[in-house]
């Protein structure tokens, strides 16, 4: 696994210096195939708009859950990888990931958590005592930012949920378990209450690890 990630970094580095349409196409396929092979979901990238030292800008990005259902799409995704950390210990670490203008669909699983978390679970999980070359992908996004996002679906007993103009900042940690830490989030409830309500602030954590689970603190208001 570590060797494969290092090879990926070297190939991307070579592509960066080519700066041609053909190189951008190769980068798109490389990134899509790499992520899709490591997690249970599937990533599809329409095109690479820009690629350079420490920055990748992708357009028309989509994520499919393990059942093949399209659960997320974005017009623009900007990634800033931490290449020093990558070459040091094999961890895919990103200084930031900024997703702009998109939609997130929350499809409920038996556990009550959305398939979004399962989509980021390792495609080949291994026990803690497995050899290093068999360990699942470990990726960390320190500065996750979502903006101009619509969230809809079922979550925490709310059916037909729809929240518009969502902006969220936090941290995503993908290993044997998946954990999303929400440092701040806001948006507008359009459904399912029959009236609009403003999410003034949302913080907490959503994790696939049952020992952590879902812990959210919400401040909301309406005009009346």
Q: What is the 3-state secondary structure (H, E, C) of the chain?
A: CHHHHHHHHHHHHHHHHHCCHHHHHHHHHHHHHHHHHHECCEEEEEEEEEEECCEEEEEEEEEECCCCCEEEEEEEEEEEECHHHHHHHCCEEEEEEEEEEEEEEECECCCCCEHHHHHCCECCCCCCCCCHHHCCCCEEEEEEEEEEEEEEEEECCEEEEEEEEEEEEEEEEECCCEEEEEEEEEEEEEECCCCCEEEEEEEEEEECCCCCCEEEEEEEECCC
Nearest to 104 by CA among 51, 57, 41, 157: 41
Residues 175-188, mean pLDDT to the nearest whole number: 92
Give per-residue pLDDT as tens, 80-136.
888 776 656 667 788 899 999 999 999 988 777 888 888 887 776 555 444 445 566
- Rounded distance between C-alpha atoms, residue 24 and residue 14, angstroms: 11
- Selected residue with higher pLDDT from 27 and 10: 27
According to the model, what pLDDT value does residue 13 have? 52
Give per-residue pLDDT as tens, 41-64.
888 988 888 877 678 888 999 999
Most confident of 16-20, 38-42, 67-71: 67-71
Whether the predicted pLDDT of 18 surpasses 80: no
- Rounded distance between C-alpha atoms, residue 131 and residue 134, angstroms: 5
pTM for this one?
0.79
Burial class (CB in 10 A: 0-12, 13-18, 19+), 150: middle
Residues 172-191, mean pLDDT to the nearest whole number: 91
Nearest to 61 by CA among 81, 86, 88, 32: 32
Place of tokens 């399209």: 70
- Asked whether 158 and 119 are in contact (CB, 8 A), the reply is no
* Dihedral sign (CA 152, 29, 76, 120): positive
According to the model, what pLDDT value does residue 23 have? 60
- Rounded distance between C-alpha atoms, residue 21 and residue 75, angstroms: 19
- Selected residue with higher pLDDT from 38 and 85: 38
Residues 183-202, mean pLDDT to the nearest whole number: 92
Residues 16-21, mean pLDDT to the nearest whole number: 54
- Rounded distance between C-alpha atoms, residue 66 and residue 41, angstroms: 5
């Amino acid at each position: 696994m570590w060797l494969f990630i290092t090879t990926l970094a070297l190939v991307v580095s070579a592509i960066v210096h080519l700066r041609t349409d053909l190189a951008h196409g190769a980068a798109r396929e490389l990134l899509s195939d790499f992520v899709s092979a490591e997690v249970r979901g599937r990533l599809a990238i329409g095109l690479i708009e820009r690629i350079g030292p420490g920055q990748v800008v992708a357009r028309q990005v989509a994520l499919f859950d393990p059942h093949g259902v399209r659960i997320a799409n974005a017009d623009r995704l900007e990634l800033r990888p931490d290449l020093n950390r990558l070459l040091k210990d094999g961890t895919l670490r990103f200084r930031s990931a900024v997703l702009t203008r998109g939609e997130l669909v929350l499809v409920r699983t038996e556990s009550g958590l959305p398939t979004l978390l399962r989509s980021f679970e390792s495609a080949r999980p291994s026990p803690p005592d497995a050899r290093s070359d068999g360990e699942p992908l470990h990726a960390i996004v320190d500065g996750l930012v979502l903006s101009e996002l619509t969230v809809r679906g079922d979550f925490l007993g709310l059916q037909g949920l729809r929240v518009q103009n969502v902006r969220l900042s936090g941290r995503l940690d993908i290993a044997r378990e998946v954990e999303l830490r929400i440092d701040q989030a806001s948006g507008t409830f359009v459904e399912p209450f029959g009236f609009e309500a403003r999410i003034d602030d949302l913080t907490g954590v959503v994790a696939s690890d049952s020992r952590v689970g879902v812990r959210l603190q919400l401040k909301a208001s309406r005009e009346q």
